[in-house]
Structure 1
Amino acid sequence: MQTVWKGSISFGLLNVPVKMSTATARESLRFRTLHSKCHTPLKQKRFCAKCNQEVEFHDTVKGYEYEENKFVIIDDEDLENIPVESTKTVEIVDFIKLEEVDPIYYDKSYYLRPNEGGEKPYLILRDAMTKTGRVAVAKVTIRQKEHLALVRVSGKALLLETMFFPAEVRGQEELGLPELEERVKIKRAELDMAIELVENLTEEFNPEKYKDEYREELLKIIRKKAQGQDVTVVEPEKERPQVVDLMERLKASVEATKKVAGD
């Protein structure tokens, strides 16, 4: 695994040297932008409008726009000298129970593995968290951004989840749900039927069960076109607006799922 960050976990008076690697990878299909006339891939160029010339990467610098068209130049030395502990340390702040965290805060997952000299304290921290059933709230800086983070045990490894700060999570006020609840009345029988349907469809989570069907269908189209085959797109029939008897739909769904459960 490629290391994207090296530092240590600060755990009380202990420092656990670790390496960080991404734990997930998107399987999305990437498309190149081509010239429609000759199908040649287009190149992205760095172009300076003032100097009217193309700029090589080694001639670029980082700039923060503090006013319109006014910039402060920030170099690598400035970034390295920021006096924040989390630039080189996963700084554990608190231990909590995992169920206390709303998944809306989760951003990206990273594996933590022990660096040289950190093997024993790594295992001690992992086993202590496993025995107590706790996860750690921490702070860490990755690629010039400080993140709130959650360190937890996953299998035999420590996993770090970067998280959004509360200020980065949008509120629900604009959704208008309290007004909706005032306007829409739910019958007890409808709720009971919906609960029964949920119970009938409840199973143990098995991630291998779920596939990216959109990606698979897109790959089929790509393979056919690469082989010179025509691809026929079937237009779905337009559904006519209809009055839905919610209770009847719920009853039918419950009956259908009972048959599935009995198989």
Structure 2
Amino acid sequence: MHTVWKGAISFGLVHVPVKMYTATEDKDIHFRSLHKDCGMPISYAKTCRHCDKEIELDEIVKGFEYEKDRFVIMKEEELEGIKDEAAKTIKILDFVDLHDIDPLYFQKTYYLSPDLAGAGAYSLLLEAIKQTGKIGIAKISIRSKSSLAAIRAVDNCICMETMFFPDEIRSLSQVPNLPTETVVNEKELGMAKALVEQLSEKFEPNKYTDEYRLALTALIEQKIAGESVDIMKTPAAAGRSNVVDLMAALQASLDATKPLPETSPPIRKRKSTSKKKDHVS
């Protein structure tokens, strides 16, 4: 794994040197843009529409557009000057319960490993988090981006989830067509809850796969091998019906997900092994 950040976790006066690694990876299949006539990749040059010429990297500066086509230029030394002095520290501010955090806040996951002689302090924090069941809420700066973060234990590793600040999350009032109040039919609600119960399982992440990526990989391999490719529509999901009535749809869903009754083998009639006694009058 490639180290993306190096610093320390601090809680109280305890200092835990750590290295950070990205916990997830991009599995998307990326395409290059090619010239249709010759099949070669197209390059994208950085050009200035005012000077009508290609711009070199050392000629580029950062600017903020405060009005249409009006910019204020920011120098690198100015940006460096306003950075937090503790930019290399994950400072835990509070400890909270995980269920108090809405998943809406979570952004990206990282693994943290002990660095240098920090194994003892690392193990101490790891075990304290495990045994209290708490989550640390911290501040961190990665690549000039300041974030909130949640520090938690995953098995024998301290894991960090970057989080959005509250003002980065849009208000629900901006979402169109939300109901002002929920009015439901009690019978339909009962059937919906029964369907939820029937579909409830223990979360097993390994049973979920990206079918599109697998199909796209197979298609690419076919084309590399020079095989002919038939273009066809994906078949409709099995069991899908055109039921419009909500009650009928709920009932059909319940019937489709109902577990099959266990069938037991037929009971064979045992033959009597005792001899029939003679009747004495």
TM-score band, normalised by shorter chain: 0.7 to 0.9
Report if the CA contact (8 A) 1:200-1:261 is conserved: no
Distance 2:216 2:29 in 1: 9
| Cα distance change on mapping 1:18 and 1:198 into 2, 3 Å | same
Aligned-residue CA RMSD (Å): 2.3
| 1:207 paired to 2:208 | no
Match of 2:223 in 1: 225
Structure 2 distance, partners of 1:16, 1:31, is 41
Counterpart residue number, 1:17: 17
Answer with 171-180 or 190-199: which moved more. 171-180
Question: What SS class does the counterpart of residue 4 from structure 1 fall into?
Answer: strand
The 3 A distance-change label for structure 1 pair 260 and 159 is farther
- CA distance, structure 1, for counterparts of residue 222 and residue 189 of structure 2: 47
Structure 1 pair 47–260 and aligned structure 2 pair: CA distance change class (3 A): farther
Aligned counterparts of 1:121 and 1:208: Cα–Cα separation in 2? 33
CA contact (8 A) 2:63 2:71 kept: no
Matched AA of 2:222: K
Unaligned ranges ≥5, structure 2: 264-281
Number of matched pairs: 256
- 1:158 matched to 2:158? The reply is yes
Consecutive unaligned residues of structure 1, counting only runs of 5 or more, are: none
Aligned twin of 2:27: 27
Aligned identity (percent) is 43
* Partner residue of 1:196 out of 194, 197, 200: 194
TM-score normalised over the length of structure 2 = 0.83
Report the more deviating stretch, 26-35 or 168-177: 168-177
CA distance in 1, matches of 2:243, 2:256: 21
TM-fit CA distance, 1:69: 3.4
**SS state at 1:31 partner:** coil
Q: CA deviation at 1:10?
A: 1.3
Range with greater deviation from structure 2 (135-144 or 79-88): 79-88
Q: In the alignment, is residue 234 of structure 1 matched against residue 246 of structure 2? A: no
Distance 1:63 1:80, change over 3 A: same
Aligned 8 A contact 2:243 2:249 in 1? no
**Deviation digits for residues 108-164 of structure 1 (CA, Å, limit 9, x no counterpart):** 011111111211111101100100000000010111111011111111111111111
User: Judging changes above 3 Å, is the alpha-carbon distance between structure 1 residues 46 and 83 closer, same or farther for their aligned structure 2 residues?
Assistant: closer
Contact 1:66 1:72 in 2 (8 A): no
TM-score when normalising by structure 1: 0.88
Structure 1 residues 65 and 198: CA distance shift in structure 2, 3 A: same
Higher-helix-fraction structure = 1
Structure 1 residues 16 and 81, CA gap change in structure 2 (3 angstroms)? farther
Structure 1, 47-56 or 131-140: larger mean CA deviation = 47-56
- Which residue pairs with 2:276 in the alignment? none
Distance 1:117 1:260 in 2: 58
Distance 2:49 2:251 in 1: 66
Instruction: Report how far residue 257 of structure 1 moved.
Output: 1.6
Could you say if the C-alpha distance between residues 18 and 95 of structure 1 is closer, same or farther in structure 2, counting changes exceeding 3 Å?
A: same
Shift of the 260–215 alpha-carbon distance from structure 1 to 2, 3 Å rule, reads farther
- Partner in structure 1 of residue 178 of structure 2: 177
Q: How far has the Cα of 1:85 moved from its partner?
A: 4.3
CA distance in 1, matches of 2:85, 2:217: 46
- Which residue is 2:72 aligned to? 71
Q: Which residue of 1 aligns with 2:167?
A: 167
**Between 249-258 and 136-145, the greater mean CA deviation after superposition:** 249-258
How far apart, CA to CA, are the structure 1 residues paired with 2:192 and 2:262?
A: 19
Which protein has the larger Cα radius of gyration, Structure 1 or Structure 2? 2
Where in structure 2 are the equivalents of 1:122-141 lying within 5 Å?
122-141=122-141
